[in-house]
Structure 1
Amino acid sequence: MEEEKVILVNEADEPIGLMPKMEAHEKALLHRAFSVFVMNDKGETMLQQRAKDKYHSPLLWTNTCCSHQRDGESNIEAGKRRLMEEMGFQTELKELFSFVYKAPFDNGLTEHEFDHVMMGSYNDSPNINPEEVADWKWMRPSDIKKDIAVQPEQYTAWFKIIFERFYDHLMKNPQTK
């Protein structure tokens, strides 16, 4: 099976080529990505715990799902596809904001991503894919913020970066909760 390719982009999110995912992470090259946050009617955010066999950040808590867009795929299409692949459900998504971040890992890989952050609403339990997800839970954003401060080692590097921006967005735009 051919390795999945990521879309290399410049600082304006303009595509400049395709590259195998692992190579892009080894070379720390900027590429397009997305992060999905799903919230319920109680204002809680669905978190996932990454599967123990993931090649980086196993068993750490992170946002509902995240991944990389495929060539020709819109941000929303990619978010919906990955939400189904990882969490086993579909919901409407809306893009909130995007930004660039860089997060190196202990294993020599680096996430250097132009990240499109999306949000959706869902009130049921997911049907998690055990190859991708070990566990899941609902948490209030304020409790996530407090927990990251107390035990940051329990969360993925990118989630700590993205969550700060997501939390600020929720505080400035309470209608999106």
Structure 2
Amino acid sequence: MPVLDVHRDEEALTVALTAEFEAPPVRVWQVFADPRQLERWWGPPDWPATFDEHDFRVGGRATYYMTGPDGTRAHGWWQFTAIDEPRSLEFDDGFADQQGTPVPEPQPTHAVVTFAADGDRTRMTVRSAFTSLDALHQQARMGMEDGLRLAAGQIDAILKEQP
């Protein structure tokens, strides 16, 4: 499994995932840049994602929903705040209503994703920063840490395919 660690730091109000892949950063980058690849792994295997919008540029927005085993849909959004291809990207990440409009609770997080070359491999780190300890605990109760681990665990299969 490519996931090396998922670490919660309550003092820093962060959850960070570290994973390593048998592919160069430019290839791992594509699993975020291409919405069809992104929706194959964003979300745990039993909650697959569908991206309705994916305007991958600074100031751009992505909207998506994840569909649970019983058909329940959980909607979300991203607002891209920084993109440095293929080294890093940043985005605000929040929940939305059925029309994709952001909702205030749970509070949005700010994600920083980095891709570092390590020979022929890439170390990817996804660090989510929370606005408060309550917000971090709320998402932890929702299964964020296990969800991240399961989601990122699906990337290897995508990377083995031709882009």
Higher helix share: 1
**How high is the TM-score relative to the length of structure 2?**
0.27
